[in-house]
């Protein structure tokens, strides 16, 4: 259930609606790809262990892939699997011409070196965009050749739905510096001509920065991080936080932004129903892009 919001409905950015439009467009392009090459783009997802939240995310990814006409397999490995075994599976999939995208769901069990696993995925099949080659292409402005991380791409589409593609003259503030969200979204915002500031856990007086943000991206994974006094009136607020909290005896998913307290925001993404559906839509686009790069 969406959080009770004191923000008028027209201020909410409906991520599900934008994702539906993206997926419909990808489905058309998938049909054209099949007609041209006689094969469907194929996504292979690996999940290690039995984390319930990860299983839900992975199921949604595979179901969406099939719904838009792509092939998809989810491979479940036990939490006790060795790093060598996982690396061997990735190597086999890397050499399989029928597999266009490989995604290893994170987090991985403690015995795994996450960076080593991500480095083993061939960059052309790295639909998460986490490989250092893809990160490097993005960082050097070669986005067209790169597979770019899905959540940052999804955030950009939502921002685009409000501000258009050119963010010249706008101040963007990103809270969080993870390789999955904070760093790549800062690169994308800068390449769209925004003036970008990255805040993190060691930043002093964060409010001095957030209060001048025309676009505020909260990606710290901290419930209640952003409240009214942090937000410039009229700003666009993108909430990437996924925090599971207890409310009235129920487990609920909530963002980093206190929706009840940021009525001053111009536009805001809800949690759930904002960035989440966009992440999956962008994974579909990336899988198609990977298939095109490998086949074309
Ligand atoms: N875990 C949480 N988000 C993601 C994601 O975007 N990709 C992968 N592989 N794992 C995740």
How far apart are alpha carbons 264 and 190 in whole angstroms? 25
Q: Which of 43, 54, 57, 115 to mutate to test the pocket of ligand 1 (most atoms within 8 A of CB)?
A: 57
pLDDT range class, residue 5, cuts 50, 70, 90: low
Tell me, in angstroms, the distance from the centre of ligand 1 to residue 169's CA: 32
Judge contact between 251 and 245, C-beta under 8 A. Answer: yes
How far apart are alpha carbons 274 and 287 in whole angstroms? 21
Indicate if ligand 1 lies below 6 Å from the C-beta of 105: yes
pLDDT range class, residue 263, cuts 50, 70, 90: confident
* Predicted structure pTM score: 0.95
Model pLDDT, residue 26: 98
User: Can you read off the two tokens belonging to residue 136?
Assistant: 């490097």
Average pLDDT over residues 219-234: 95
Q: Can you tell me which atom of ligand 1 is nearest the CA of 279?
A: 6
Tell me, in angstroms, the distance from the centre of ligand 1 to residue 203's CA: 26
For 2-6, 52-56, 125-129, 275-279, which range has the lowest pLDDT when averaged over its residues?
2-6
Tell me, in angstroms, the distance from the centre of ligand 1 to residue 288's CA: 18
Average pLDDT over residues 223-251: 94
Indicate if ligand 1 lies below 6 Å from the C-beta of 151: yes
Closest residue by Cα to atom 3, ligand 1, is 106
Judge contact between 34 and 289, C-beta under 8 A. Answer: no
pLDDT range class, residue 4, cuts 50, 70, 90: low
In this predicted structure, the answer to whether residue 3 has a pLDDT above a threshold of 70 is no
Residues belonging to the chain: 296
Indicate if ligand 1 lies below 6 Å from the C-beta of 118: no
Closest residue by Cα to atom 1, ligand 1, is 106
For residue 107, whether the previous peptide bond is cis, meaning omega lies within 30 degrees of 0, is: yes
Contacts for 27 with CB less than 8 Å, ≥ 6 apart: 67, 68, 69
- Average pLDDT over the chain reads 95
Judge contact between 171 and 212, C-beta under 8 A. Answer: yes
259 phi/psi in degrees, rounded to 5? -55, -35
What is the percent of the chain where pLDDT is above 70?
98
Tell me, in angstroms, the distance from the centre of ligand 1 to residue 77's CA: 16
Mark whether 55 is an active-site residue: no
Q: State pLDDT tens for residues 151-200.
A: 999 999 999 999 999 999 999 999 999 999 999 999 999 999 999 999 99
Indicate if ligand 1 lies below 6 Å from the C-beta of 106: yes
Mark whether 128 is an active-site residue: yes
Mark whether 61 is an active-site residue: yes
Tell me, in angstroms, the distance from the centre of ligand 1 to residue 198's CA: 21
The catalytic position among 126, 128, 230, 239 is 128
In this predicted structure, the answer to whether residue 68 has a pLDDT above a threshold of 70 is yes
């Amino acid at each position: 259930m969406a959080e009770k919001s004191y923000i008028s409905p027209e201020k909410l950015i409906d991520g599900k609606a934008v994702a539906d439009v993206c997926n419909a467009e990808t489905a058309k392009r998938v049909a054209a790809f099949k007609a041209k090459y006689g094969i469907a783009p194929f996504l292979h997802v690996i999940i290690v262990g039995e984390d319930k939240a990860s299983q839900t995310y992975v199921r949604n990814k595979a179901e969406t892939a099939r719904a838009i006409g792509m092939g998809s397999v989810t491979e479940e490995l036990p939490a006790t699997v060795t790093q060598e075994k996982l690396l061997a599976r990735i190597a086999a999939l890397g050499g399989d011409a029928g597999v266009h995208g490989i995604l290893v769901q994170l987090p991985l069990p403690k015995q795994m070196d996450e960076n080593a696993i991500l480095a083993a995925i061939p960059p052309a099949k790295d639909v998460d965009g986490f490989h250092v080659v893809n990160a490097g292409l993005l960082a050097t402005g070669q986005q067209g050749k790169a597979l770019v991380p899905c959540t940052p791409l999804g955030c950009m589409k939502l921002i685009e739905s409000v501000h258009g593609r050119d963010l010249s003259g706008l101040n963007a503030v990103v809270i969080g510096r993870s390789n999955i969200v904070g760093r790549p979204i800062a690169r994308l915002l800068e390449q769209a001509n925004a003036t970008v500031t990255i805040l993190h856990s060691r930043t002093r007086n964060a409010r001095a920065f957030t209060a001048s943000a025309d676009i505020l991206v909260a990606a710290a994974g901290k419930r209640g991080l952003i409240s009214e006094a942090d937000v410039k009136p009229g700003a666009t607020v993108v909430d990437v936080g996924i925090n599971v909290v207890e409310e009235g005896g129920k487990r609920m998913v909530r963002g980093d932004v206190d929706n009840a307290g940021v009525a001053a925001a111009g536009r805001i993404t809800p949690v759930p129903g904002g960035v989440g559906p966009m992440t999956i839509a962008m994974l579909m686009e990336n899988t198609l892009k990977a298939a095109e790069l490998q086949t074309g």
